[in-house]
């Protein structure tokens, strides 16, 4: 085994820093560590800009970062992945790893900045911030800042609503007329946003608010209205009498994953089969090569939530109690770090999702996974616990955002509907974090995700006892400890036979029997007689816990034996001890 200690690498790195003359004084280091790449975190980056940031970071921190394209999107953009790993402490595949992505829905843009911020903060902290340095030395990270590059590019490049460009950009026949993407939105008033259209109609059931005409409100029973809602800005491009019924794309890549995938008539946007989009296929192909991924996070917007599976009520019991308890520990920690965020279960607290990404990670691959829904409008209000009226909301929009996310209503002569009003919230309203609050949002979510990452299993031999049973027979009892919250094998994995059981191997002496025991004082066990030197441990080692194993061995006193504990989602550990009476902790 490659001997590895955190201290060693810190010392080595500190040494390097000294040699390079790049040491920073303690006063500056305290939360003001400079990065080699200056990035403003009070703004958003379109796909090309985010690509440049990724490349700049990888260039600036080659000792930690590796860039890799997982494949090409529908429109040929690279699916960039940044692997963060310190090769001095081993290959990424030897360590528990956390997979982090964002922006599967093209319009949920700040997810990408949150991933970029995480890479930026970790790289500048290495060797400077002990906690993060230790974390980097014992784990690896796989970052995919945007897994829907086309959706991101489209959202920035063209007029959109807050909700459009959620899809990927494969042309799709959404209205079954044999034509692809033939009737999308139009920015009729040329303000750069797709807002709402209202038709003047004396029989309409809506009217403009007298005090604030930017608010369109329902008309009370018995009063005269003036407006009828037409929907988003656009015209009937294909002459079928409908507006905007078949815009770009028109599917949902977060319903395209393999666990509980269901066809379109059950789950809108699912695609023809799991991974039938190049983006999801590229990500899945990579993830399937990394059984060491022990934690997963997929950033979305909006609403302020830390979500876990299952996505459908009939899968509720697929999550065994011990796993739910683990999720609770992580989720509750997240609620502390993220004010006004709720730790919720997707199907019961939000809505039903079939074929979602974190569901595949958790249910298909046994990875402890969350989806964070970034940003909640409550963050901008003085009293986030109270529901606000439209007037009050507009007031805060004005005073805080200076009205920047709202386009005033203007009249427009529409080819199908005659005189209409066009206006309303821009694409930056409602779902996107106000830029001045972006950095805080990135940091708080980063902090939660680092807590999640630091909870990935870490093993150590805790204690070993050897008894001389006479005539060359020895009883070896060993305690293997997992010092972190996430078990080496989630219960969902051991129950459903996902991945491989852990493996404890003894070599260097003849093993007659072996087995797991309740504790070191346990006299009896249900021994494995066949191939007892290879003990398969389906349940793994629980979080913040240890398990006890026993071997009956034949060998000469003093002979060195070797114990090795292997787990998919933890770093393997190994030790050598001589066959000699002992009863002591392992240090």
Please enumerate in sequence order all residues whose Cβ is within 8 A of that of 520, keeping only pairs 6 or more positions apart, or say none: 463, 465, 477, 479, 548
Instruction: Provide the minimum distance between the beta carbon of 168 and other proteins in the complex, in angstroms, as a whole number.
Output: 17
The one segment of 43-51, 108-116, 237-245, 550-558 that binds other proteins by CB under 8 A: 237-245
Q: Are strands 196-200 and 140-144 parallel, antiparallel or unpaired?
A: unpaired
Instruction: Provide the minimum distance between the beta carbon of 536 and other proteins in the complex, in angstroms, as a whole number.
Output: 6
> Considering only residues 503, 513, 525, 586, which one is a binding residue for other proteins as defined by CB under 8 A?
503
Q: Is residue 351 within the footprint of other proteins (CB under 8 A)?
A: no
Q: Is residue 264 within the footprint of other proteins (CB under 8 A)?
A: yes
Closest CB to other proteins among residues 228, 416: 416
Q: Is residue 512 within the footprint of other proteins (CB under 8 A)?
A: no
H runs (alpha helix) in 74-146? 110-125, 130-138
Distance CA 229, CA 64 (A): 53
Q: Can you give the length of the chain in residues?
A: 587
> Considering only residues 24, 35, 75, 262, which one is a binding residue for other proteins as defined by CB under 8 A?
262
Q: Is residue 284 within the footprint of other proteins (CB under 8 A)?
A: yes
> Considering only residues 181, 187, 236, 572, which one is a binding residue for other proteins as defined by CB under 8 A?
236
Burial class (CB in 10 A: 0-12, 13-18, 19+), 117: buried
Q: Is residue 39 within the footprint of other proteins (CB under 8 A)?
A: no
* Residue 299 structure tokens: 């950033």
Closest CB to other proteins among residues 520, 564: 564
Distance CA 379, CA 553 (A): 63
The residues in 304-333 that bind other proteins, with binding defined as CB under 8 A, are 312, 314-318
- 472-488 burial, b at 16+ Cβ within 10 Å, e below that, comes to eebebbbbbbbebbbbb
Q: Is residue 498 within the footprint of other proteins (CB under 8 A)?
A: yes
Instruction: Provide the minimum distance between the beta carbon of 566 and other proteins in the complex, in angstroms, as a whole number.
Output: 8
Q: Is residue 268 within the footprint of other proteins (CB under 8 A)?
A: no
Place of tokens 């009226």: 389
Say if residues 366 and 318 touch (Cβ distance below 8 Å).
no
Q: Is residue 74 within the footprint of other proteins (CB under 8 A)?
A: no
Q: Is residue 29 within the footprint of other proteins (CB under 8 A)?
A: no
Say if residues 309 and 346 touch (Cβ distance below 8 Å).
yes
Burial class (CB in 10 A: 0-12, 13-18, 19+), 33: middle
The residues in 383-422 that bind other proteins, with binding defined as CB under 8 A, are 416
Instruction: Provide the minimum distance between the beta carbon of 360 and other proteins in the complex, in angstroms, as a whole number.
Output: 8
Site string for other proteins, 116-155 (x = CB under 8 A): ----------------------------------------
Say if residues 345 and 308 touch (Cβ distance below 8 Å).
yes
Q: Are strands 78-84 and 140-144 parallel, antiparallel or unpaired?
A: antiparallel
> Considering only residues 180, 219, 258, 437, which one is a binding residue for other proteins as defined by CB under 8 A?
258
Place of tokens 């036979």: 497
Q: Is residue 531 within the footprint of other proteins (CB under 8 A)?
A: yes
Inter-helix orientation angle 110-125/435-454, to 10°: 60
**Which residues make up the interface to other proteins (CB under 8 A)?**
176-178, 236, 238-241, 258-266, 272-275, 284, 288, 312, 314-318, 354, 363-364, 416, 496-498, 500-501, 503, 529-531, 534, 536, 538, 566
């Amino acid at each position: 085994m490659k001997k590895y200690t955190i201290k060693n690498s810190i010392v080595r790195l500190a040494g390097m820093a000294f040699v390079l003359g790049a040491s920073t004084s303690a006063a500056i280091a305290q939360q003001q560590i400079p990065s080699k790449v200056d990035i403003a975190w009070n703004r958003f980056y379109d796909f090309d800009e985010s690509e440049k940031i990724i490349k700049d970071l990888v260039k600036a921190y080659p000792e930690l970062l590796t860039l890799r394209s997982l494949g090409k999107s529908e429109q040929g953009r690279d699916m960039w992945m940044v692997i963060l790993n310190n090769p001095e402490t081993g290959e990424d595949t030897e360590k528990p790893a956390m997979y982090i992505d964002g922006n599967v829905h093209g319009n949920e843009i700040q997810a990408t900045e949150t991933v970029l911020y995480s890479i930026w903060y970790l790289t500048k902290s290495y060797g400077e911030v002990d906690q993060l340095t230790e974390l980097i030395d014992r784990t690896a990270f796989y970052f995919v800042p945007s897994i829907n590059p086309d959706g991101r590019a489209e959202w920035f490049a063209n007029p959109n609503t807050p909700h459009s460009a959620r899809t990927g950009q494969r042309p799709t026949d959404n209205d079954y007329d044999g034509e692809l993407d033939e009737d999308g939105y139009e920015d009729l008033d040329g303000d750069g946003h797709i807002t709402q259209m209202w038709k003047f109609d004396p029989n309409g059931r809506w009217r403009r608010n007298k005090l604030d005409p930017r608010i369109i409100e329902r008309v009370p029973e018995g009063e005269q209205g003036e407006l009828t809602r037409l929907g988003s800005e656009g015209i009937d491009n294909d002459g079928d009498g409908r507006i905007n019924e078949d815009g770009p794309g028109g599917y949902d890549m977060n319903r395209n994953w393999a666990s509980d995938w269901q066809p379109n008539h059950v789950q809108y946007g699912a695609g023809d089969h799991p991974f039938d989009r190049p983006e999801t296929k590229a990500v899945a192909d990579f993830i399937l090569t990394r059984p060491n991924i022990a934690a997963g996070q997929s950033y979305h917007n909006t609403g302020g939530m830390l979500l876990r599976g299952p996505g459908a009520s009939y899968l509720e019991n697929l999550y065994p109690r011990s796993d739910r308890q683990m999720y609770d520990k992580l989720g509750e920690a997240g609620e502390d770090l993220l004010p006004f965020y709720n730790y919720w279960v997707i199907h019961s607290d939000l809505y039903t999702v079939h074929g979602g990404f974190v569901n595949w990670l958790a249910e298909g691959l046994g990875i402890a996974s969350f989806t964070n829904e970034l940003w909640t409008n409550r963050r901008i209000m003085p009293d986030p616990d109270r529901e606000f009226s439209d007037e009050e909301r507009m007031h805060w929009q004005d005073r805080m955002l200076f009205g920047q996310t709202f386009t005033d209503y203007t009249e427009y002569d529409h080819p199908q509907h005659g005189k209409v009003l066009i206006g309303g919230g821009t694409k930056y309203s409602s779902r996107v974090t106000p830029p001045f609050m972006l950095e805080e949002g990135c940091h708080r979510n980063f902090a939660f995700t680092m807590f999640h990452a630091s909870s990935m299993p870490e093993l150590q031999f805790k204690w070993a006892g050897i008894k001389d049973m006479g005539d060359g027979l020895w009883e070896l009892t060993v305690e293997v400890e997992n010092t972190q919250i996430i078990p080496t094998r989630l219960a969902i994995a051991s129950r459903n036979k996902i991945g491989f059981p852990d493996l404890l191997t003894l070599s260097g002496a003849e093993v007659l029997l072996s087995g797991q025991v309740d504790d070191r004082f346990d006299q009896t066990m249900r021994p494995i007689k066949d191939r007892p030197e290879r003990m398969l441990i389906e349940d793994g080692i629980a979080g913040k816990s240890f398990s006890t194993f026993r071997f009956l061995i034949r060998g000469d006193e003093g002979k060195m034996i070797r114990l090795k504990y292997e787990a998919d989602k933890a770093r393997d550990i190994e030790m050598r001890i001589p066959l000699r009476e002992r009863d002591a902790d392992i240090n």
